[in-house]
Structure 1
Amino acid sequence: MTPISLPHEAISASAGSGKTFQLAHRYIRLLAAGVEPDHVAALTFSRKAAGEIFDSIVDYLCEATDHPDAARITSDRIGVAPLQPEEFLLILKKLVRELHRLHIGTLDSFTVGVLRSFPFELGIPPAITLMESGGAEASLVQERVLASIYRRGAQIPDAPDALLEAFAQASFGHSEKRIEDNLSSLISAYHTYYRLLPDSRSWGSAGAIWPGGNQWLTMDEEASNAADRLVTLLREQGAAEKVLRRFADFATTARDYTARSAWADPLKYLFPRLLEAADDLKSGSACIMTDKARTVLDGEAAAAVLTLVARVIRIHLLRAMQRTGGAYQLLDRYNTEYEHVVRTAGTLTFEDAQFLLSSANRSSGGARLSRQSGQEGRLYIDYRLDARLDHWLLDEFQDTSDLQWDVLANLVEEILQDDSGQRSFFFVGDVKQAIYGWRGGNPQLFGMLLDKYGDVIETKRLAKSQRSCPAIVSMVNDVFSQLPLDRLPVEAIAQWQRFWEPHESGQRPAGKTGVAMLMEPPCDGGEYKPGPEDRYRIVAGLLNDIRPLDRGLSAAVLVRSNRDGRSVVDYLRSACPGLPVVHEGRAAIVDNPVVSVMLSVVKYAAHPGDMYAWRHVQMSPLV
């Protein structure tokens, strides 16, 4: 087999355009070039996806061994001179013989494997136990950390009070009835951010957030005079009584607004409208729609309203900065104890594992993974992993988190800076399909990597969907090709357009008809904001009109969450009599109290330390 030159490559592939196809053939191309299977790392986000990648590689190789025509097609796909089925059979045999040494898996499994190879350098026990982030065991660890803080603090005057004071500042302006739950939620939500940015100067500092200053923080005119002046001016203009009352209530509420004030009805109604017209108010003239009537604010009236709006914004910004500063103090205390407890016990979440291998880990001095031996501040992985990972293939790159990327960044940068031609980097993804922002996924990494190394990374775009019919693709193009300049920030539109291109359907209608529509409930001239049930009503109306069962069809209703799914099912069962509706959302069965208790029994049997499960069982009729 003749070695081939493999460029670094980034593929932006839309839904259904063949991301797994591209990655699998990249892997086969490496094997055809004579690369040893254990020199290739192909990583993705789930075990299911990793299994699909492996199955695809094997399936394509098996096809190529079946017939000379299939071997020729596969050779064309991987960009090499035609290979014979016998040659693909040799590649397949070699792959199977090396199954135990393959690196086709998840980012988490790779991270844990490296972690177990460097326990002493990272300051953890040789034997570690993994737990699910946000699971029962992780919650118990969190409780243990907080209890440890109080035990240690009991020996230091005012230490527990300092923790509660930090929490009070972090939740400033919010009414907290259940301190324990809110404390736990705050830690769970922001602990990762603290780890990535442990510098106190970056938390709640106006200078760090707005290096060029913030106009709303500098606008501090007398709000009391502005409130009185606005009402007087509107009365002189002959404003209708209802309109005058709207603005008077707003002016009074904004004038008296403090950091602990509730978001009262006058603000709920009028503030969004005024904020939307902020640029017009600054220019000295704005038209505000209230109660189906237009109110023109000119000159002094516009200035008075702007002063009141600025006061509310300024209070919110100052409160947010105070809360952020308090969150830092709380997280700093928590993290110090958490590091001690976790390292001592060797019980880690996958996020903990990633953090230990990141540059933010102070215990290891921020040591980075490397394939260069003898370098200070580097963890040389070849010897410990008994492998030379020369070629990296990353799937679903748009969902990579900053922490995950920090683990791999040095390894990838070593490859991209290597001009020997013996190593390569390949990543595929679609920023439009980023779905893991809730767990830290950062789709901007895709573009940031191209900005930094675009001169050495070849890029390819795939926009032909083999999954969607022409009607759906056409609708997608109509909606997303022309984003509204008057409703979205210019920067957001530019970022979107960088990776957007019109889609094409790879399917042929073959005489079939179809339709795709984007529908929204009426807004009644902007005075009424449609709610969820208004949308459910549209869905029910369509199903009653189409009558899918009478036509021998099935119908699917896609929603954003399991909670939304249950709500839709309840509504459709009532609004569409005779139509069987089922909820196929994840874990819907646990809504049954009997099932929920039995699950707790199983959890407690498997993990006797799971006190949440045991308490649940104790409260049931089983005990």
Structure 2
Amino acid sequence: MEMVDGAERLRALTDLESCLLVEAAAGTGKTSLLAGRVVMLLAHGVDPQSIAAITFTELAAGELRQRIASYLHRIIEGRIPDELRPALPSGPDAAQTEMLRAAAKRLDELTCGTIHSFCHDLLKTYSVEAAIDPGADVLDGDQADFAFDAIFDRWWRGRLDRTAPAAGDPIASVARRDPINAEGLLRSFAKFRRRHRGARPLPADLDAHADVEFAESVREFRRWCDQVDVPPEADPDIVALEALVSHFQGRFDPLPDFEGLLELAHPAWLPIMRKGTSNLRDYRRRTLWRKVGGADGERLADQAEEHFGRCRQAYCTLMGRIATSIIGIFSGELDEVMMEYETFKRRAAVLDFDDLLFTSREVLRDHPSVRATAAERFSRLLVDEFQDTDPVQAEIIFLLCGTAKDDRAWHARSLRPGHLFVVGDPKQAIYSFRAARTWRRISGCARRSRRNSPTIFSGSPRTFGLEARFWTT
């Protein structure tokens, strides 16, 4: 029985000079299709050494290699796999058989592994341009975490052991404010920076008038309450909002130091705040307005909720600006930790998994000759489980498959015909937030730069309780 997507499957197996993206649900044979395309490339004389099949885990890579070998040997023996029968209904012709026999002897030259192993091999080849030791070992996740934690611990103890901390020392300040949770907050932030090494805090944008918008929105709420002639107890939230206005009033001229920023970020708790945070809760006074407003109760409730929403938005904006200033200071203090971690890796001649990706991207970006020779070496890239490929990994792939003189952002590059084949299902994304964005870019549904997508760092609710945004590159 002919499959409903038979034409698409046939194209994926036989249209070898086009770049294709195959999106299909779980259990539909995407990996088998990728393995079949590799075999068809071999049948058409593509050098096994120029093919790289990349998947998500070492286990999956081993299974993919085994499936490719199985298809290849079964075809040579005259037993055409069902998955390849649409492309080889009468079996391979004499020339294809000869090509497959030759490829079978050199199948070990085909690259089949994870993106990290692929990048490791790439960096060993171009170690001079990458400025790394060609014999550098790769730390596994646990080893890298242990080394980073040890470096952070040494830095933290050193900062707290100072007999006379400098005036306004932010590390000493946060440790005094919350000695139990401060260490965990800074450690989590350091790990965030290690994980998002391209992230940079937004520049501080506080000025002498930072609280004006919030104060004016609360005053407008109060003027509206006075106009509708209702007693203040009809909406106690306005009283709480006015208390918040007084917390900020006159505190931005001159701009506060770090201690002042911490105080501003932690106003005294009020009933309009969510428990354990400085964030405002949703509006909960509609019932009161219905009671005091009589026939106009519903309309007044809508208007009150609208006013509260504007106040809440202005408050969140103000607190976000304060949080970004604090995080910017923390980020500068943690530069020392990040530099010590990089120094340790360089002296020990080791790399972590992120180094493999970021260094490969930098080498391909910054060295056109490396990009050209590597692209010639791997002229056919096939990527399985592409929904879990993040933008850094995708950029590496697109740099290798893109046209030589195309300097546009990775997701807008022109690709050389037939050089890229990807399969996946965005609904199966393990890292759905990052991967869905990558998938949308590849499929043409989104064309914005990663720089325009902020990453959010959330602090401990007890210690910080705010969110700050970072530009990522």
Distance 1:185 1:136, change over 3 A: farther
- Which of 125, 140, 157 is equivalent to 2:133? 125
The answer to whether 1:203 aligns with 2:198 is no
Q: 1:394: how far off? A: 1.0
- Which of 426, 429, 434 is equivalent to 1:434? 429
Q: 1:352: how far off? A: 1.7
1:599-618 to 2 correspondence within 5 Å? Answer: none
Q: 1:297: how far off? A: 3.0
Give distance in 2, aligned partners of 1:417 and 1:229. Answer: 58
CA contact (8 A) 1:24 1:53 kept: yes
Which residue matches 1:446? 439
RMSD over aligned Cα atoms: 4.7
Which residue matches 2:56? 45
CA contact (8 A) 1:254 1:309 kept: no
Percent of pairs identical after alignment?
Answer: 21
1:359-378 to 2 correspondence within 5 Å? Answer: 359=362, 366-367=366-367, 370-372=370-372
Q: 1:45: how far off? A: 1.3
The one-letter amino acid paired with 2:170 is: E
Give distance in 2, aligned partners of 1:186 and 1:67. Answer: 59
Give distance in 2, aligned partners of 1:370 and 1:340. Answer: 26
Q: 1:118: how far off? A: 2.8
Give distance in 2, aligned partners of 1:249 and 1:453. Answer: 45
The one-letter amino acid paired with 2:51 is: V
1:10-25 to 2 correspondence within 5 Å? Answer: 10-25=21-36
Q: 1:75: how far off? A: 4.5
Which residue matches 2:272? 266
Distance 1:314 1:443, change over 3 A: closer
Cα offsets for 1:115-137 (capped at 9, x unmatched): 2223333222232122233x254
Which residue matches 1:165? 170
- Which of 106, 131, 139 is equivalent to 2:114? 106
Q: 1:113: how far off? A: 1.4
Structure 1 residues not aligned, in runs of 5+: 208-215, 276-286, 373-379, 455-623
Distance 1:292 1:118, change over 3 A: farther
Give distance in 1, aligned partners of 2:308 and 2:402. Answer: 53
Which residue matches 1:59? 70
Distance 1:206 1:429, change over 3 A: farther
- Which of 197, 210, 221 is equivalent to 2:215? 221
- More contact order relative to length (CA 8 Å, sep ≥ 6): 2
Q: 1:227: how far off? A: 7.0
Which residue matches 1:138? 145
CA contact (8 A) 1:24 1:56 kept: yes
Q: 1:327: how far off? A: 4.2
Distance 1:327 1:17, change over 3 A: farther
Q: 1:398: how far off? A: 2.0
CA contact (8 A) 1:43 1:106 kept: yes
Cα offsets for 1:293-337 (capped at 9, x unmatched): 876437985675356324422332222321342243134333333
Which residue matches 1:395? 384
Distance 1:345 1:223, change over 3 A: same
Secondary structure at 1:11's aligned position in 2?
strand
After TM superposition, the score normalised by the length of structure 1 is 0.53
Q: 1:245: how far off? A: 6.3
1:66-465 to 2 correspondence within 5 Å? Answer: 67=78, 70=80, 74-77=84-87, 82-84=90-92, 93-133=101-141, 135-144=142-151, 147=154, 165=170, 175=178, 177-193=180-196, 195-197=197-199, 203-204=202-203, 219-222=213-216, 225=219, 236-237=229-230, 244=234, 247=237, 250-251=240-241, 254-255=244-245, 258-261=264-267, 264-268=270-274, 271-274=280-283, 288=286, 296-297=299-300, 301=304, 305-306=308-309, 308-359=311-362, 366-367=366-367, 370-372=370-372, 380-381=373-374, 388-414=377-403, 417=414, 424-436=419-431, 441-451=434-444
Distance 1:368 1:349, change over 3 A: farther
The one-letter amino acid paired with 1:444 is: R
Q: 1:30: how far off? A: 0.6
CA contact (8 A) 1:115 1:357 kept: yes
CA contact (8 A) 2:36 2:83 kept: no
Cα offsets for 1:175-218 (capped at 9, x unmatched): 5624333222111112343x3255xxx624569xxxxxxxx987
Give distance in 2, aligned partners of 1:303 and 1:400. Answer: 42
Give distance in 2, aligned partners of 1:217 and 1:63. Answer: 73
Distance 1:430 1:5, change over 3 A: closer
Q: 1:40: how far off? A: 0.5
Secondary structure at 1:76's aligned position in 2?
coil
Give distance in 2, aligned partners of 1:343 and 1:206. Answer: 36
Structure 2 residues not aligned, in runs of 5+: 1-13, 248-263, 292-296, 405-412, 448-473
Give distance in 2, aligned partners of 1:38 and 1:442. Answer: 29
Secondary structure at 1:196's aligned position in 2?
coil
The one-letter amino acid paired with 1:203 is: L
Secondary structure at 1:180's aligned position in 2?
helix
Which residue matches 2:18? 7
Distance 1:95 1:163, change over 3 A: farther
After TM superposition, the score normalised by the length of structure 2 is 0.67
Distance 1:414 1:308, change over 3 A: closer
